[in-house]
């Protein structure tokens, strides 16, 4: 966290997205980006910088986020209709170029509880992406390996031209988290 603060980032999570972006080249100036599970805002901050201030970045989280230049921050529950409605309204009908999701449930330590909760969140993120991504758009999300993971990846392959798994160096070795990078959405 000290390095992140020193470099002006909101959290060390930025290094995960930065590494994925170096390999995948996700961003371009003027893009519309949705960041689910945005607080404290490092991914939104990175997206705003990478879209050159001409893009539209919308970050949504249950927790409030200090304002960021070039980012519309929403405090809402993505699992509830009100949260989805607020996000849809903020888009003002614009198609989305990139959906990012770093959402994770509050961890109980019991995988029989945590894994289904995590899969539910990422499945909601995919449903949102399928509804709002422009053709050719991309999706990046944190996923935890475990029950339902293989079926989830297989399902994504039906909607995107390429699906890759990334385990950024900034992820803890013992963590089951990986990032799925789904490119070129096919409507």
* Residues classed as catalytic: 142
Question: Using omega within 30 degrees of 0 as the cis cutoff, is the peptide bond preceding 9 cis?
Answer: no
């Amino acid at each position: 966290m000290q390095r992140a603060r020193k470099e002006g980032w909101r959290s060390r999570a930025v290094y995960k997205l930065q590494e994925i972006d170096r390999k995948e080249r996700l961003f371009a100036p003027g893009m519309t980006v949705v960041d689910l599970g945005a607080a404290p805002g490092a991914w939104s901050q990175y997206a705003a910088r990478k879209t050159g201030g001409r893009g539209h970045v919308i970050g949504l989280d249950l927790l409030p986020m200090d304002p960021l230049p070039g980012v519309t921050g929403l405090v809402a529950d993505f699992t509830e209709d009100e949260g989805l409605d607020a996000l849809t309204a903020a888009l003002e009908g614009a198609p989305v170029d990139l959906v990012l999701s770093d959402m994770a449930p509050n961890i109980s330590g019991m995988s029989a509880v945590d894994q289904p909760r995590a899969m539910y969140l990422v499945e909601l993120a995919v449903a949102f992406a399928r509804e709002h991504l422009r053709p050719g758009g991309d999706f990046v999300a944190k996923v935890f390996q475990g029950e339902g993971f293989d079926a989830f990846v297989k399902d994504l392959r039906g909607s995107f031209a390429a699906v890759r798994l990334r385990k950024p160096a900034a992820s803890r070795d013992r963590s089951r988290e990986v990032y799925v990078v789904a490119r070129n959405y096919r409507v």
